[in-house]
Amino acid sequence: MAKWFAKPPSAAPLSEADRAARAKLRVGIPKVLNVWTTHQFWLGFFQALRLSPRNLVFSSDTSDAQMREYGSGRGTVDCCYPVKCVSGHYGELIFGQKRRIDILFSPMIHSLSSFMDGHVMESLACPRVMAAPENIKAGFLRERDVFAENRIAHVAPLVTLAEPKLVPRQLFDALKAVVPGLSIEETARAVEAGFATLAAFTDDLRARSRDILEWCAREGRPCIMVLARPYHMDSGIGHEIEADLQACGYPILWSQYFPTDPDLLDWIFRADLAEGLIRHPFDIDDVWPSSYSANTNEILWGAKVAARVPWITCAIRLGSYECGMDQPTFTPVQQIVERSGTLFFSFQELDSTKPAGSVKIRVETIAYYLECNSPGVMEAKLRHMDGPGPLQTARASAESPG
């Protein structure tokens, strides 16, 4: 009995040899897919394992040149461009570094930590996105083992970020053979550090988004909400459409980083809560009962927010060609936004080529519609809100003397 309740021994301290070996380890991480919203977790995690920040290498943004130089002939996926382009990122990390990497770390993210957890069925990743690391790896083993030739360990653990208690074991099992002296206890502490780093980063971006909204309320200016998947932040996949619109003078909000402060959400959804349409501001059962996909859930929720916030006078939907997860959501998202009088524009077939002329014309069209219609949209939406909200309170405080 005494053995059953005995305190387990703590992990042995890291030896000088292991510490020195870790300091030299170089880890390459493809900047693709859901890494766009989880990258801070991986930075916090690896730094907590005492790897040097200088040795954590992300690939560059997606580009045609990247694919031609590093990924040509290694494709294994036929229709999903955001997955296809991962070959170029792998090749860049393997062949395009001045100093060789030791580990190509490409997590198979099965589920994502989401602010909507507890209010939706699941927060799962797209199956094709999740399986991408193993699919892309096959393209580098077709003729010979490129990883072995370059003395690079390909590490692709299945990770359930929506279930934090499982993550230490998942990452320990994947990394114990390549990170000297690694223990499960140290991995657990590093996971906690990773989540803390990610939370701090997300909180900072949400605070900046609130600053934008307060500025819009104070100045009576419109802004734009982007409804998209995380990888559309990649300039080679989203084609910087949001940057072109921002250059026209319209601040940009991404739905993933919309502020989730209780006072703001209570004001936005007060009428829906009072009528019993929803149980919580993060509830999307009223528009999307099949709420198992993390990115889809957040896009639908972002559409509801864009439809209600007065200063969001336009929502832009970005989608990639043949995205099976996005196809069923196109009509619901458009209906949610347009029924409120909010402007809605979509780019639903973004792929490898950038139709520069077409994008330029559409951006100019969107800017024209915003200029003509934003004052009326803001006025109409303000009339439907339940009294002044916290953004207007912030506006009044800023305008008061002293």
Residue 114 structural domain: 16-199
State which of 174, 199, 224 marks the end of a domain.
Answer: 199
Q: Which of 125, 117, 159 is nearest to 29 (CA)?
A: 159
> Looking at 186-200, 221-235, 357-371, which range is the least confident one?
357-371
Between 325 and 3, the higher pLDDT residue: 325
Q: Average the pLDDT over 154-174 and give the result.
A: 98
Closest CA to 224 of 244, 196, 254, 200: 254
| Amino acid 167: pLDDT | 98
* Whether pLDDT at 240 is above 80: yes
Mean pLDDT for the stretch of residues 332-338: 97
Q: Is the pLDDT of residue 353 over 50?
A: yes
Q: What is the mean pLDDT of residues 186-204?
A: 98
Judge if 284 and 312 occupy the same domain.
yes
pLDDT at residue 323, rounded to an integer: 72
Are residue 257 and residue 363 in the same domain, yes or no? yes
DSSP character string of 345-392 = EEEEEE-SS--HHHHHHHHHHHHHHHHHHHHHHHHHHHHHSSS--HHH
pLDDT at position 395, please? Answer: 52
| Whether the predicted pLDDT of 3 surpasses 60 | no
Both 150 and 271 in a single domain?
no
List, in order, residues 6 or more apart from 142 with CB less than 8 Å away: 74
Tens-place pLDDT, residues 261-298: 999 999 999 999 999 999 999 999 999 999 999 999 99
Higher pLDDT among residues 360 and 182, named by residue: 182
* DSSP, res 13: P
Alpha helices by DSSP H, listed for 220-293, are 235-238, 241-247, 262-274
Query: What is the band of 12 on the pLDDT scale with cuts at 50, 70, 90?
Result: low
User: Do both 348 and 263 map to the same domain?
Assistant: yes
The answer to whether residue 120 scores a pLDDT higher than 90 is yes
Residue 8, domain member (yes or no): no
Instruction: Of 149-153, 198-202, 361-365, give the lowest mean pLDDT range.
Output: 361-365
Other CB atoms within a 10 A radius of the CB of residue 158 amount to: 17
Of 199, 232, 253, the residue that ends a domain is 199
- Over range 63-75, report the average pLDDT: 91
Q: Do 280 and 142 belong together in one domain?
A: no
- Residue 322 above 70 pLDDT? no
Output DSSP code: residue 154.
E
Please state, in angstroms and rounded to a whole number, the distance separating the CA atoms of residues 346 and 14: 53
pLDDT at 300: 97
Specify the pLDDT at position 397.
53
What CATH number did the domain enclosing 30 receive? 3.40.50
Q: How many residues does the chain have?
A: 402
- Percentage of the chain modeled with pLDDT above 70: 93
In this structure, the answer to whether residues 188 and 231 fall within a common structural domain is no
Q: What is the DSSP letter of 255?
A: G
The pLDDT assigned to 355 comes to 67
Per-residue model confidence (pLDDT) at position 4: 43
The pLDDT score that the predictor gives to residue 350 is 83
Helix (H, G, I), strand (E, B) or coil at 153: strand
- pLDDT tens digits along 92-117: 999 999 999 999 999 999 999 999 99
Same domain, residue pair 247 and 340: yes
Q: Of 180, 199, 218, which marks where a domain is finished?
A: 199
Residue 160: in which H helix or E strand, if any? strand 158-160
Q: CA-CA distance, 237 to 318, in Å (whole number)?
A: 10
**Total domains present in the chain:** 2
Of residues 321 and 16, more confidence is placed in 16
Structural domain contains residue 3: no
Give the pLDDT mean for 61-75.
91
For residue 281, being part of any structural domain is answered with yes
* Whether 26 and 159 share a structural domain: yes
Do residue 159 and residue 195 come from a single domain? yes
Does residue 9 sit within a domain?
Answer: no
Return the pLDDT at 398: 54
- Mean pLDDT lowest among 10-19, 59-68, 139-148, 230-239: 10-19
Are residue 27 and residue 176 in the same domain, yes or no? yes
